[in-house]
Amino acid sequence: MHTHNDSPLLGRCKEKGCDYVLFATRDQVQQADNFKEVKAGAGVFRVGNNGHFARCTNGHRFFPLKAIKGTYSKDHKCDARCLNAKGNDCTCSCGGMNHGRGYAVEVQTGPVIVTASVESDMASEKQERFIGKLLLEKQIPANDIATGDERRKDALAKLDAHVFTKRQASKTIEWLLTLPKKEA
């Protein structure tokens, strides 16, 4: 189980008709002295001792984000039910680290990325198997952040967590097919 200080945060805009949901890790939280500093679409802010808050990209009123209460369970495989969850309690193999990610706008160190919102948009098992096969066969290039092997391990971990949408899987397969085979 994650401690209250390191568990991810999940929250949703309370305005009627707005389905903006935000998932953030603790290292993405910004400090704010007051609620006026909580800007629309700017991420998560800790406002004094009041808690964690954000505003949707539509500029509605700020909303709270709550810690995900994650409990590890080897018997509950992390899948689309966890990824597309809307509540803050999670009991599965991810222990809360993937809870709500597929449903939410995910804050990362770069731009905000909108990810899948429905289970039917998640990659098929066939796509995931094909990506896994290609990852093992192809020479994955390094980038500014990671070596090729680190990128391969990260992608394999994402496959295990079933976080690819159909579109992401298609683009990943398309990219992997352009790469040379791994040297023996």
DSSP secondary structure string, 72-99?
E-TTS---HHHHT--SSEEEETTTTSST
How many Å apart are CA 40 and CA 53, to the nearest integer?
Answer: 11
Is the pLDDT reported for residue 2 higher than 70? no
Query: Which pLDDT does position 25 carry in this prediction?
Result: 80
Q: Are residues 174 and 95 in the same domain?
A: no
124: left (phi over 0), alpha (psi -120 to 50) or beta: beta
Number of domains in the chain: 2
Q: What letter does residue 154 receive in the DSSP assignment?
A: H
Q: Are residues 87 and 134 in the same domain?
A: no
pLDDT at 105: 59
Query: Does 22 fall in a domain?
Result: yes
Could you report the per-residue pLDDT of 118-128, keeping only the tens digit for each? 445 778 888 88
Percentage of residues in the chain having pLDDT higher than 70: 86
| 114, 136, 164 - which closes a domain | 114
Give the pLDDT of residue 136. Answer: 92
Position 141 pLDDT exceeds 70 = yes
114, 132, 158 — which closes off a domain? Answer: 114
**Residue 140: pLDDT above 80?**
yes
Q: Are residues 51 and 137 both part of a single domain?
A: no
Give pLDDT, residue 104. 65
- Has residue 44 got a pLDDT over 70? yes
> In this structure, is residue 3 part of a structural domain?
no
**Residues counted in the chain:** 184
Segments forming the whole domain that contains residue 152: 123-178
More confident residue, 85 or 181: 181
Domain contains 34:
yes
Mean pLDDT across 89-106: 72
The model carries a pTM of: 0.53
Predicted local distance difference test score (pLDDT) of residue 10: 85
Does the residue 1 lie in any domain? Answer: no
What average pLDDT does the structure give for the chain? Answer: 79
Could you give the CA distance from residue 30 to residue 52 in angstroms, rounded to a whole number?
A: 9
Average pLDDT for 134-159: 89
One domain, residues 99 and 127: no
Q: Is 76 within a domain?
A: yes
Asked if residues 22 and 10 have their Cβ atoms less than 8 Å apart, the reply is yes
More confident residue, 76 or 121: 76
Q: Is residue 68 part of a domain?
A: yes
Same domain, 153 and 77: no
